[in-house]
């Protein structure tokens, strides 16, 4: 799964590279968590980041506080909770790294996983409106790349640049879209341990992204 990530000023370089605009009220988030408003490129506005809440509220849920933060690549095209969003409301989520916790005999150890060839990247997602009519998103996850399976067996889908246009298009080639939802290249990933202070969502300082021994 993916339950925490970060996006700092690196979004500016990402926006410049692809000619995207950034909302004036964007603030760097070094410990992004479900429920927060975060920068997303949605299908109606493919060149302008907007802030969306992280976590889709399923229409069938009796508990309306329940939010789905991830959608599995293996079932996103068929599952009732996500199928329509997959077909009509795909999105891209900006990040400069994500956090995952490895289980050890001494407890869970937080890791940060980044791309070693880019300061920031875009993750595949879907979005929908919540019960108050506000847009909310979920991150699509897939099997982890081989080099990081020792940390966790799932990872967010990091899209290659050449896949962005298709993901944001009006295509009905749903098998082709599903084919994009693969583990990322092992040789372009970097993983390292970070401070356990990232465990508490109230911590939102830049040092959380730094490697620790």
Residue 71 tokens, joined:
């959608």
Q: What is the largest CA-CA distance in the chain?
A: 48
HEC assignment per residue over 185-208: CHHHEEEEECCHHHHCCCCCCHHH
State whether the Cα torsion 48-158-196-54 is positive or negative: positive
Which position among 91, 100, 106, 190 bears the catalytic label?
A: 100
pLDDT at residue 62 is higher than 80: no
Q: What is the pLDDT of residues 3-22, one digit of tens each?
A: 999 999 999 999 999 999 99
Q: What is the pLDDT of residue 38?
A: 97
Residue 106 annotated in active site: no
State the average pLDDT over residues 29-35: 97
What residue ranges define each of the domains in the chain, with the CATH number in brackets? 5-209 (3.90.1680.10)
| b/e per residue 77-115 (b: at least 16 CB within 10 A) | beeebbeebbeebbbbbbbbbbbbbeeeeeeeebbbbbb
Which position among 2, 78, 91, 146 bears the catalytic label?
A: 2
Phi, psi of 173 (to 5 degrees): -80, 75
pLDDT at residue 44 is higher than 90: no
Residue 91 annotated in active site: no
> pTM to 2 decimals?
0.96
């Amino acid at each position: 799964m993916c339950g925490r990530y970060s996006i700092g000023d690196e979004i500016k370089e990402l926006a410049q590279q692809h000619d995207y605009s950034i909302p004036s009220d964007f603030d760097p988030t070094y410990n992004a968590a479900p429920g927060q408003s975060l920068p997303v490129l949605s299908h109606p506005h493919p060149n302008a980041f907007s802030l969306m809440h992280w976590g889709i509220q399923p229409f069938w849920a009796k508990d309306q506080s329940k939010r789905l933060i991830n959608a599995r690549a293996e079932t996103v095209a068929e599952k009732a909770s996500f199928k329509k969003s997959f077909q009509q409301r795909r999105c891209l989520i900006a990040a400069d790294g994500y956090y995952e916790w490895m289980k050890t005999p001494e407890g869970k150890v937080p890791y940060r996983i980044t791309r070693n060839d880019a300061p920031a990247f875009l993750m595949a997602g879907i979005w929908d409106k919540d019960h108050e009519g506000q847009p909310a998103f979920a991150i699509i996850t897939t099997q982890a790349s081989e080099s990081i399976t020792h940390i966790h067996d799932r990872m967010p889908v990091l899209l290659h640049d050449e896949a962005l246009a298709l993901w944001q298009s009006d295509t009905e080639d749903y098998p082709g879209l599903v084919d994009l939802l693969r583990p990322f290249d092992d040789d372009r990933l970097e993983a390292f341990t970070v401070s356990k202070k990232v465990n508490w969502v109230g911590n939102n300082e830049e040092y959380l992204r730094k490697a620790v021994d």
